[in-house]
């Protein structure tokens, strides 16, 4: 009776990790021979692990990754893809996000840009960073709508708070003058303090011409390229290779 009362109190305090530990037979047996302070430490650690797992689950759900199963452990390291293992391993450590740096991934359609971007984004969420994936064209269209309904400033502020923003398929379509200005505003809020991961079929050397207006293009490229890590994927389409397998 006392045990159930205690469990109810823990539930009221939302200590679900401790409840799981107390009701886990294996944990109970392992703790029986431990002194009180070590049993307490075990319960506290289980609570911390539980909360950490719940936070990661929330971050991954909020990230809305296009390829939710992508992870750095499953990266295809074939030499023909042109991946620098040392660089990608360093990126998996997360320091680039802690220092507000960008990652720019380019390559032909189907070569795995989105997959790699989602793998790095998932790794970031697992490390406790807030993440959001979106297609670049969709976000720019969303910001144009936000101008009309008066929510632009609020939405820009929300995006500025994200530790990592993933913009997939940048430069897949022509950009309008208002979209170009919004992209500059978006990046200006993030430069030096928050990270942006961009994938594109165009090499970074062609982005300035895509942006068209030289003055704004200079400003955007400066914010993107400053302290950025670049990955130029090579090789045949992975989708085509899977279809032929």
Q: C-alpha angle 178/184/188, rounded to 5°?
A: 150
Res 38: pLDDT: 72
Res 150: pLDDT: 96
Residues 57 and 74 in one domain: no
83: exposed, middle or buried (Cβ count in 10 Å: 0-12, 13-18, 19+): buried
C-alpha–C-alpha distance, residues 176 and 160, integer Å: 22
Residues 55 and 134 in one domain: no
Question: Considering 61, 87, 102, which residue would you say is the last residue of a domain?
Answer: 61
Q: Which residues of the chain have pLDDT under 50?
A: 1-2, 241, 243-245
Domain coverage including residue 197: 64-244
Residues 78 and 33 in one domain: no
Question: Considering 24, 41, 61, which residue would you say is the last residue of a domain?
Answer: 61
**Tens of pLDDT along 230-245?**
999 997 666 554 544 4
Predicted model pTM: 0.80
Residues 152 and 239 in one domain: yes
Residues 72 and 103 in one domain: yes
Residues 86 and 145 in one domain: yes
Residues 93 and 187 in one domain: yes
Q: C-alpha angle 37/38/42, rounded to 5°?
A: 120
Res 43: pLDDT: 67
Backbone angle region of 48, left / alpha / beta, with phi > 0 → left and psi within -120 to 50 → alpha? alpha
Q: What is the CATH number of the domain that holds 81?
A: 3.40.50.300
CB 18 within 8 A of CB 47: yes
Residues 30 and 126 in one domain: no
- The radius of gyration of the chain's CA atoms, rounded to the nearest angstrom, is 23
Residues 57 and 76 in one domain: no
Residues 32 and 115 in one domain: no
DSSP character for 111?
S
Per the structure, how many domains does the chain have?
A: 2
CB 39 within 8 A of CB 31: yes
Res 52: pLDDT: 65
Residues 179 and 90 in one domain: yes
**Tens of pLDDT along 93-131?**
999 999 999 999 999 998 999 999 999 999 999 999 999
State residue 83 phi and psi, 5-degree precision: -80, 135
Residues 38 and 87 in one domain: no
């Amino acid at each position: 009776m006392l045990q159930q009362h205690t469990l109810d109190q823990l539930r009221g305090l939302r200590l679900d990790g401790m409840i799981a530990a107390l009701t886990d037979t294996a944990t109970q047996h392992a703790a029986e021979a431990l002194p009180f302070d070590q049993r307490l430490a075990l319960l506290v650690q289980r609570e911390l692990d539980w909360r950490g797992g719940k936070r990661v689950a929330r971050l991954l759900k909020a990230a809305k990754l296009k390829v939710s199963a992508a992870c750095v452990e499953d990266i295809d390291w074939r030499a023909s893809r042109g991946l620098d293992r040392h660089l990608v391993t360093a990126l998996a450590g997360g320091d680039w996000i802690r220092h507000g740096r960008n990652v720019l991934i380019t390559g032909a359609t189907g070569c795995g840009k989105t997959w790699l971007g989602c793998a790095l984004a998932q790794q970031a969420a697992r490390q406790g960073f807030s993440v959001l994936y979106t297609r670049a064209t969709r976000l720019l269209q969303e910001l144009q709508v936000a101008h009309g309904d008066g929510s632009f400033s609020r939405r820009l502020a929300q995006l500025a708070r994200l530790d990592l923003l993933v913009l997939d398929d940048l430069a897949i379509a022509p950009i309008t003058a208002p979209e170009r200005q919004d992209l500059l505003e978006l990046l200006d809020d993030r430069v030096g303090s928050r990270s942006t991961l961009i994938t594109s079929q165009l090499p970074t050397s062609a982005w300035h011409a895509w942006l068209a207006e030289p003055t704004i293009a200079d400003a955007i490229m400066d914010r993107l390229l400053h302290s950025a890590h670049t990955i130029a994927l090579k090789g045949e389409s992975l989708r085509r290779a899977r279809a032929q397998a």
